[in-house]
Amino acid sequence: MRGELEHLTPERVWKETESALTTRNPQVFFQVLRDCGALRVLFPEIDALFGVPAPARWHPEIDTGIHTLMTLSMAAMLSPQVDVRFATLCHDLGKGLTPPELWPRHHGHGPAGC
């Protein structure tokens, strides 16, 4: 499957992503991609968030990937706008760059994710 995914153009990937972001439950699209291993290929920055811990004080679900999908689900309930939903999906990308020895803290993850 990896070889097939690598032949998709960025425009095609965005078209499918944009379509998914307009649905009632856009987080399902990303969970399915993760379940079949495609998230790692198409969106490695998002895939890298799974397994990255966050302080329980701020994120009781602990896992940053799960937190990201939960916030996307909530954003979908609050706004139909694709840009808002996409921003929600990307809001913690910098946490995937935090060295494991610094976990569960992620100081500076905002600018790092940009």
Q: For residue 14, give its domain range.
A: 2-113
Please tell me the pTM assigned to this model: 0.82
Is pLDDT above 60 for 112? no
Residues 36-72: b if buried by 16+ CB within 10 A, e if exposed: eebbbbbbeebbbbbebbbeeeebeeebbbbbbbebb
Q: Which residues pair with 53 in a beta bridge?
A: 63
Quick one: pLDDT at residue 93? 85
Picking from 15-24, 36-45, 64-73, 92-101, which range would have the lowest pLDDT averaged per residue? 92-101
* Mean pLDDT, all residues of the chain: 85
Report the domain count for the chain. 1
Least Cα distance to 94 among 61, 69, 68, 72 occurs for 68
